[in-house]
Each structure stands twice: as structure tokens, then as C-alpha cells.
Amino acid sequence: MDNLAKPTNRALFLVSVAVTGAFAGAAVWLFFFAMEHGIDYLWTEIPHALGVASPELASGPFGFLPYPFFVCLLGGLLGGLITFDITGIDFALTALFVVLFIEQVVKKENRAPGAAGLVCAVAGLAVFGADNMVIPAMVLTLAVLLLGRRKLCA
């Protein structure tokens, strides 16, 4: 008789799965909660403390103030100091990009940028291969979207 077939073991297994799922769900919720409030703090509270209102973030010589650049630079520098095992993040990022692409396809006004990204990804895969395609595909997508922004925004 299989150990899991025993009623006591099955009950303990179900309880442990439920508790683990509850803790995992709580951890994910806590992560998203922290991300939401962290982003809100970085993009609204700090600029207000610096005396820069949010509408003014869209001004400047390039259409934005350097504040987002410096926040990203600081995040990159601090992120380089933190070392931890990132095994499995490639799967999570793949799932994230699939969800974002599906969201692009669902909204009719976002279909052209989504299609441009898909075509650029396929072109990057064909030219650079699976191991080296991500950065060239992203650069190509950025270039296509920047060059076609007037038509896409019309």
C-alpha cells in the first residue's frame, strides 16, 4: 500500500500543501504590495520632496527629466551589490512576457506594437540564434517603435 494512500498521510499531505500554498500566496501578495508602494514612493513621493511635480516629469530636452534615469542607475548599482541565486527567474520572465504580449493582443489599439515586437523577436532569433537574440531583438523593437511612434500614436 502506498504511503500516500493511508488516510492519515493523505490528510497531512493535503494540510501541508494548503499551508504551503497559503504562505506562497501571502509571499507573492507581500512582494506585489511592496513593489506597488515602492514604485509609488519612487515616482511620486521623492519628486514631490524634491519640489518636482509629476506633470513636470514629462518636460525637459528629451521629453523627461533625468530623475527616472538616475533612479534606474541607482537601482542597477544597488542590484549589482546584491547577490542571490536567480535559478528559475528565466521561466518567470518568460511567463511575464507571455502575459504582457497577450495583454497587447487583447487591446485593439495595442496590437500594432505587439506585432512589431513579435516580428522583431522572430528576426532576432533568425539572425542571432536562441542564445544571443534577446538584446538585439529588444534594440530592434525599440528602434521600430521609436521610428513608428507618430503613426502608432495617431
Enumerate residue ranges in the chain where pLDDT < 50: 1
CA distance linking residue 148 with residue 142, whole number of Å: 10
CA atoms within 13 A on the CB side of 54: 6
Residue 57 makes CB contacts below 8 A (sequence gap 6+) with: 43, 47, 64, 65, 67, 68
How does the average pLDDT of the chain come out, rounded? 79
46-76 per-position pLDDT tens digit: 767 766 655 555 555 555 556 667 777 888 8
Q: Look at residues 122, 71, 98 and name the one whose alpha carbon lies nearest to residue 144.
A: 122
